């Protein structure tokens, strides 16, 4: 997997709207500041969480490690039995 522009822009715009636009249109009231702060913190933390997960998938550090037994079972169940093993 590599870097894709569409998901990056989509989620950047989505969390930008939540963190920048929505706090501006919060109705006036005694707890308006708290609501604005909650929206900004939510947007910031959710965006950073998404960004870390997205970047971790672009270049994973390790791949799956399967035992020979697991590989043989998967091959048999998926219809590609391995009959000639290295002898």
20-66 pLDDT per residue, tens: 999 999 999 999 999 999 999 999 999 999 999 998 888 777 877 88
Residue 80 lies in a domain: no
What domain count does the chain have? 1
Local structure of residue 79 (DSSP, 8 states): T
CA 28 to chain centre: 34
Residue 52 lies in a domain: yes
Which pTM was predicted?
Answer: 0.67
Question: To 5 degrees, how large is the angle CA 30–CA 32–CA 33?
Answer: 110
Residues 6 or more apart whose Cβ sits within 8 Å of residue 12: 47
Residue 74 lies in a domain: no
Q: What is the pLDDT of residue 85?
A: 65
Residue 34 lies in a domain: yes
Q: What is the pLDDT of residue 22?
A: 96
Range of the domain at 32: 5-61
């Amino acid at each position: 997997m590599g870097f894709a522009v569409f998901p990056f822009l989509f989620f950047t715009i989505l969390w930008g709207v939540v963190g920048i636009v929505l706090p501006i249109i919060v109705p006036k009231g005694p707890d308006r500041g708290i609501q604005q702060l909650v929206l900004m913190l939510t947007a910031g933390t959710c965006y950073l969480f998404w960004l870390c997960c997205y970047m971790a998938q672009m270049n994973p550090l390790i791949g799956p490690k399967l035992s020979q037994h697991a590989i043989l079972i998967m091959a048999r169940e998926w219809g590609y039995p391995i009959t000639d093993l290295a002898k």
